[in-house]
Every structure is written in C-alpha cells, then in structure tokens.
Amino acid sequence: MSRSAGFRNLIAILGVLTAGAAPLSAADGAVISRASSAPPFILVGFAGGFIHPDNPHHGPVQLAQRIRKELPAGAYLQIFENRHRKTAFKAILNLLDTDHDGVLSRAEKARAHIILFGHSWGASAVVLLSRELDRAGVPVLLTVQVDSIAKPWQSDKMIPENVAEAANFYQPHGLIHGRSKIRASDNSKTQILGNYRFDYRKAPVNCEGASWLEHVLAPSHMQSECDPHLWTQVEALVLQQMLPQPVMAAIPQVK
C-alpha cells in the first residue's frame, strides 16, 4: 500500500470513529479580549482526529475541565480542533501582545508561560505549534503528547529548543498507534521528561461513550484517549508548572 493510500485510509477510519462527537457549547477560536497584562499561564490543548473540542468523553477536554478549577486568576485555557492550529497561534500572540502594537517585544516574549497538550493528531499539532512559537521567539514551558499521530507532511518527533520540558505518552498496538519516542533538537535547552508506554492489551480500560467501531478498529488508541490513569499523569505534569510545591506534594507524580 502506498503512503498516500495509507493516509487516506487513516483519515477514513478517524472520520468514522469521531463523526458522532457531539458539541456541548460554541466551537473553538473564540475572540480574545484585549488585556493590559499577559495571562500568568496560557494553556492550549488540541483534540484528536475530527473530534469537537467540547466532546465530554475526550481526554484533553476532560483534562481542561479538571484543571480549570486549579488555574491561577487570569490564566487562559482553550481546547482547539487540531486543524485550527493557526487560530491557536494567533490567540497566543494576541494574549502576549499587551501593548497592542502588533509586534511582540523581548519583554512580552519573556512573560510567556505556555503549556501545550494534545491527543493523536492533536499531539502532533502541539509540536507544530511549538515550532511556530520558536520561529516567533516565544518560549514554551511544557509540551505533552498522548499517542501522537503525525500526518504525512508533518513530523512530531523532534521537540524545538524553545520548549523547556516535553513528555510523550503512547501505546504500541493496532493500526493507529502513537509515536514511541520524541527527541530534543537541543538537549541543553529541552528536557525530555520521558516516553511513557501504556499497554491496553495487558491493562484494558473502559471508555464511556465509545462506539463499537472504535472498539473494533482502534481499541488501544481509543483507550489512550480516555484512560484516567494516563490523563491523571498528564494533569500532574501540567499542575507542576503552575502550583506551588506544597500543593503539588499531594498530587500523584508521573512514574
């Protein structure tokens, strides 16, 4: 099978698996208000496949719902469809441009505290957005990829040097399975926290709201989307960037 044919098949499978995703509220890409100061933290998540960013059964959406309760005052949190990466990029620049002159100064860039996370195609979007921010001179605190799937014209393996820390969670089974290893383009600037392997053939999880097609066509990839243990570890990584150490002591750490 040619690469292009394989990708068409992958699109068809992901389309079938995610076609029934029902929104809870408005779509992503909301207008960002003009603030006089940058948010203390900017958190951007990307949904996988063709999943709507308000799907209540999707890992990044559930994570956002949980950590929203822990966010410092003024922090920004938004889940985007993976195809709306450019919208997310513009939103971040807009949030950082506190003097509204259309150009980010060195001081405005230095105030950036950005955390990116995503699943499947959304995980690949995390890496691509990081590279766009790198070209703009904007630092990123943390990137988290969960069962990362890159489109043929993309690469989700190499983490750019503007990222301080990066983590990769993956499962190895099935037609759709995530990248097993990520690398830093500059080890002196980026710490790879780990490439964490999950095996759902040995330890299956129940996914509420999953269709029978998901169970048949991509069961392990589906489980990486809803695994509470995996997403609790992602949550711990995110909260470590924002909460004081005494608070973090009570939160389970990534192993």
In a domain, 253, yes or no: no
pTM: 0.85
With CA atoms as reference, report the closest residue to 115 among 157, 186, 163.
163
Looking at the DSSP assignment, which residues form a beta bridge with residue 47?
81
| Residue 161 belongs to domain with CATH number | 3.40.50
Instruction: Give the model's pLDDT for residue 16.
Output: 41
In a domain, 168, yes or no: yes
What distances in angstroms separate CA 176 from CA 135, 151, 215, one per listed residue? 31, 12, 12
In a domain, 35, yes or no: yes
Residue 208 — pLDDT band, cuts 50, 70, 90?
confident
Give the separation between CA 125 and CA 238, rounded to whole angstroms.
17
Give the separation between CA 234 and CA 253, rounded to whole angstroms.
9
Helical (H) or strand (E) element with 128: helix 121-135
Q: Is the pLDDT of residue 4 over 90?
A: no
In contact, 236 and 253? CB cutoff 8 Å: yes
How buried is 114 (Cβ within 10 angstroms: 0-12 exposed, 13-18 middle, 19+ buried)? buried
CB atoms within 10 A of CB 7: 14
Q: Is the pLDDT of residue 1 over 80?
A: no
In contact, 19 and 223? CB cutoff 8 Å: no
Instruction: Give the model's pLDDT for residue 8.
Output: 45
What does pLDDT average to over the chain? 86
pLDDT, tens digit, 9 for 90 and up, residues 37-66: 899 999 999 999 989 999 998 999 999 999
In a domain, 224, yes or no: yes
Give the separation between CA 80 and CA 192, rounded to whole angstroms.
24
* Lowest mean pLDDT across 143-157, 197-211, 233-247: 233-247
Mean pLDDT (whole number) for 187-210: 94
For helices 59-67 and 228-242, angle between their N-to-C axes, nearest 10 degrees = 40
Give the separation between CA 69 and CA 15, rounded to whole angstroms.
32
pLDDT, tens digit, 9 for 90 and up, residues 240-255: 999 876 444 445 556 6
In a domain, 114, yes or no: yes
- Residue 230: which domain range? 3-248
Q: Is the pLDDT of residue 5 over 50?
A: no
Number of domains in the chain: 1
